Chains A and B, each alone.
Chain A
């Protein structure tokens, strides 16, 4: 009984400020265009990326917002050289700040943001018909610009362009990959749209 009271109290503490400020939860879909030529040669010039993002205004009537997102990217390709099948999965976590600028009498907000971005990369490299699976971490950053367009009933559209820059793995971890390891450059430009709900 005591535990239930504590949980309810915590929810109230969180919920009351959220409803007083911009709190946007959205689900994004995007096209990620890798900027690294090796990545492009292996996995092609573009791939789908999707995931949720939560943006919370830090203080009422102030332009600064915190945001956290999780994006998932998966693409099949072929190695350079022997054209053997390979699959990459990127799990991109971002935690950062956005700066909002209200336009059109508050019907929209333009924003720009920066984030710290841990990336988990999972690969399945087929070598001689043997699947070599790896999971590696890397760290990078995310820069983004975009616009929220507020719809009736608190729904909101998010149009955004991001640039994710990250390198994953290491140059000296041959045992991790079964290969002569190199850091994977998974950077790319992201063009996307999100549909969310503003809890304000």
Chain B
């Protein structure tokens, strides 16, 4: 049984109004919801972070529902929708993923229900050509610095049946021709490429049963399958950390039989072994890793169906889990998003995550914490001739991008007892005077950047005297 995200249901599309972030909002919260097309699946952000392209899978088979939505990320609105040209033609056929080249000039849309990749000129947002010869293409990666792409053939009705593909196609993006094929395991569902382009990783769904999925490692210099990593459960997405040391794979499982997947696997790419299996919510689907490599965001699809032709759709609350890559643990909060969150793309500056909600028909925009605050505290006995002022000194540093413009310092975890606001133009130090002896103080520092995103509070407990 395959379990592609083809949930054939006529659930209504929520036409939610896009919302602008006007006030400070905590990091890892949804700040806008952008209505897009029918059953949005894959999403990709242009390298300059200005636009996102969303493949509207049109799983319900609505007339002219196969499309690509272009989002203006400067104001989180729908810029335009690219339909079939002309409307009667079938240029798109259940578009599933979007891949944008490094120059940001072209978007490649995989048509999962056909044999083609549609090429879009991003300057004019028009379809320029179609690359043919695939079999239910469901993903694409471009080798960095080259014009060579790999496309996974998941299998489709026009070739092998869905989920019965077992090859990758090698594509020359200049000639837009398939120039080679690599055999992989059954139902290659997602691809990733190392930053040096030396290896392509194919996550193979196989049959969705626990432990049956694989990841094939293909050496691109000679297109040889060098390693197969086993033990996955319906792997659905694969992402590499920016340093190229680890890969994360969502174990989606299935959405038409139990047990459904609830984990993400971490692979050490030096040894090509699974080093951690992390428990998430129901049906981890999409993955996005922040540019600083600190966190992986996984969308939990949480949608089941029954009956023939996927007609009985039951979508629960979609969520996004945050994985701390340093510890391979899930960290709070669990972010509530729309129904059936399928894919995640993270902006190049790490400030936002964009989640396609398959059955909601919308993209949720999540404000991320693109910076990290590291804080320390110590106590100073500020001595005068007739008394001592007990002073707690807090100092901190910040790293990352889109850094805070101000810092708020609280004395309580509930963030109600604000004791100071420190501008980023001032030294990163705060002295809290007139403290009581024999009391251990804990402070909470929250940074706010110019977008109004506030960080997760950083707790600092003052226990030692300053040196």
Q: Taking beta carbons and an 8 Å cutoff, which residues of A are in contact with B?
A: 38-39, 42-43, 79-82, 84, 86, 88, 121, 123, 125, 127-128, 134, 136, 168-169, 174, 177-184, 186
Given A39, A88, A128, A179, which contacts B387 in the complex, CB threshold below 8 Å? A179
Q: Are A134 and B386 in contact (CB under 8 A)?
A: yes
The residue in chain A whose Cβ has the minimal distance to the Cβ of B387 is A179
Alpha-carbon separation in the docked complex, A190 to B66 (Å): 97
Q: Are A80 and B383 in contact (CB under 8 A)?
A: yes
Say how far B196's CB is from chain A's closest CB, in angstroms: 52
A79-B433 contact, Cβ under 8 Å, with A179-B389, A180-B389: no
Say how far A60's CB is from chain B's closest CB, in angstroms: 45
Main secondary structure of the interface of A (DSSP, over half): mixed
Q: Are A42 and B385 in contact (CB under 8 A)?
A: yes
A86-B382 contact, Cβ under 8 Å, with A127-B433, A178-B434, A180-B389: no
Alpha-carbon separation in the docked complex, A128 to B434 (Å): 11
Q: Which one of A39, A82, A169 has the highest number of Cβ atoms from chain B below 10 Å of its Cβ?
A: A82
Q: CB of B381 within 8 A of chain A?
A: yes
The residue in chain B whose Cβ has the minimal distance to the Cβ of A43 is B385
Q: Are B383 and A81 in contact (CB under 8 A)?
A: yes
Would you list which residues of chain B between 126 and 166 have a CB under 8 Å from chain A? none
Say how far B141's CB is from chain A's closest CB, in angstroms: 57
Q: Are A42 and B380 in contact (CB under 8 A)?
A: no
The residue in chain A whose Cβ has the minimal distance to the Cβ of B390 is A180
Q: CB of B23 within 8 A of chain A?
A: no
A181-B386 contact, Cβ under 8 Å, with A81-B380, A81-B381, A82-B431: yes
Main secondary structure of the interface of B (DSSP, over half): strand
Q: Which one of A80, A86, A179 has the highest number of Cβ atoms from chain B below 10 Å of its Cβ?
A: A179
Q: Are B431 and A128 in contact (CB under 8 A)?
A: yes
Q: Which one of A42, A134, A180 has the highest number of Cβ atoms from chain B below 10 Å of its Cβ?
A: A180
Q: Taking beta carbons and an 8 Å cutoff, which residues of B are in contact with A?
A: 380-391, 431, 433-434, 437
Q: Are A82 and B391 in contact (CB under 8 A)?
A: yes
Q: Are A179 and B385 in contact (CB under 8 A)?
A: no
Contacting residues, chain A, for B384 (C-beta < 8 A): 42, 79, 86, 123, 125, 177, 179
> Given contacts A42-B383, A186-B385, could you give 13 more A-B pairs where the C-beta distance is less than 8 Å?
A38-B383, A79-B382, A82-B391, A125-B384, A127-B434, A136-B386, A168-B386, A169-B386, A169-B387, A177-B386, A178-B389, A180-B388, A180-B390
Say how far B343's CB is from chain A's closest CB, in angstroms: 51
Q: Are A82 and B380 in contact (CB under 8 A)?
A: yes
Alpha-carbon separation in the docked complex, A84 to B387 (Å): 13
Contacting residues, chain B, for A184 (C-beta < 8 A): 385-386
Q: Are A128 and B433 in contact (CB under 8 A)?
A: yes
Alpha-carbon separation in the docked complex, A178 to B387 (Å): 8
Say how far B431's CB is from chain A's closest CB, in angstroms: 7
Alpha-carbon separation in the docked complex, A127 to B388 (Å): 11
Say how far B242's CB is from chain A's closest CB, in angstroms: 42
Alpha-carbon separation in the docked complex, A169 to B386 (Å): 7
Please, could you name 14 A-B residue pairs with CB atoms under 8 Å apart, sorted by A?
A: A43-B385, A79-B382, A79-B389, A81-B380, A81-B382, A82-B431, A84-B382, A121-B385, A121-B386, A123-B384, A178-B389, A180-B388, A180-B389, A182-B386
Q: Which one of B380, B382, B385, B433 has the highest number of Cβ atoms from chain A below 10 Å of its Cβ?
A: B385
Say how far B208's CB is from chain A's closest CB, in angstroms: 63
The residue in chain A whose Cβ has the minimal distance to the Cβ of B389 is A179
Alpha-carbon separation in the docked complex, A86 to B390 (Å): 16
A123-B437 contact, Cβ under 8 Å, with A81-B391, A82-B380: no
Contacting residues, chain A, for B437 (C-beta < 8 A): 180
Alpha-carbon separation in the docked complex, A43 to B389 (Å): 17
Alpha-carbon separation in the docked complex, A178 to B433 (Å): 10
The residue in chain B whose Cβ has the minimal distance to the Cβ of A136 is B386
Say how far B170's CB is from chain A's closest CB, in angstroms: 67
The residue in chain B whose Cβ has the minimal distance to the Cβ of A128 is B433
The residue in chain B whose Cβ has the minimal distance to the Cβ of A86 is B384
Alpha-carbon separation in the docked complex, A84 to B380 (Å): 13
Given A88, A127, A169, which contacts B389 in the complex, CB threshold below 8 Å? A127
Alpha-carbon separation in the docked complex, A169 to B384 (Å): 13
Say how far B105's CB is from chain A's closest CB, in angstroms: 56
Say how far A139's CB is from chain B's closest CB, in angstroms: 15
The residue in chain B whose Cβ has the minimal distance to the Cβ of A39 is B385
The residue in chain A whose Cβ has the minimal distance to the Cβ of B381 is A81
Say how far B308's CB is from chain A's closest CB, in angstroms: 73
Alpha-carbon separation in the docked complex, A5 to B433 (Å): 62
Contacting residues, chain B, for A123 (C-beta < 8 A): 384-386
Contacting residues, chain B, for A181 (C-beta < 8 A): 386-387
Alpha-carbon separation in the docked complex, A39 to B384 (Å): 8
Contacting residues, chain B, for A178 (C-beta < 8 A): 387, 389, 434
Alpha-carbon separation in the docked complex, A168 to B384 (Å): 13
Alpha-carbon separation in the docked complex, A84 to B381 (Å): 12
Nearest 6 pairs of A and B residues by beta carbon: A179-B387, A81-B382, A80-B383, A177-B387, A184-B386, A82-B382
Q: Which one of A127, A168, A181, A186 has the highest number of Cβ atoms from chain B below 10 Å of its Cβ?
A: A127
Contacting residues, chain B, for A81 (C-beta < 8 A): 380-383, 389, 391
Say how far A153's CB is from chain B's closest CB, in angstroms: 43
Q: Are A182 and B431 in contact (CB under 8 A)?
A: no
Contacting residues, chain A, for B388 (C-beta < 8 A): 179-180, 182
A180-B387 contact, Cβ under 8 Å, with A82-B380, A82-B431: yes
Alpha-carbon separation in the docked complex, A174 to B391 (Å): 15
Given A79, A168, A186, which contacts B383 in the complex, CB threshold below 8 Å? A79
Contacting residues, chain B, for A86 (C-beta < 8 A): 384-385
Alpha-carbon separation in the docked complex, A182 to B385 (Å): 8
Alpha-carbon separation in the docked complex, A106 to B354 (Å): 102
Contacting residues, chain A, for B431 (C-beta < 8 A): 82, 128
Contacting residues, chain A, for B385 (C-beta < 8 A): 38-39, 42-43, 86, 88, 121, 123, 184, 186
Contacting residues, chain B, for A134 (C-beta < 8 A): 386
Alpha-carbon separation in the docked complex, A107 to B384 (Å): 47
Contacting residues, chain B, for A183 (C-beta < 8 A): 386
Alpha-carbon separation in the docked complex, A128 to B388 (Å): 14
Alpha-carbon separation in the docked complex, A125 to B389 (Å): 10
Alpha-carbon separation in the docked complex, A169 to B388 (Å): 13
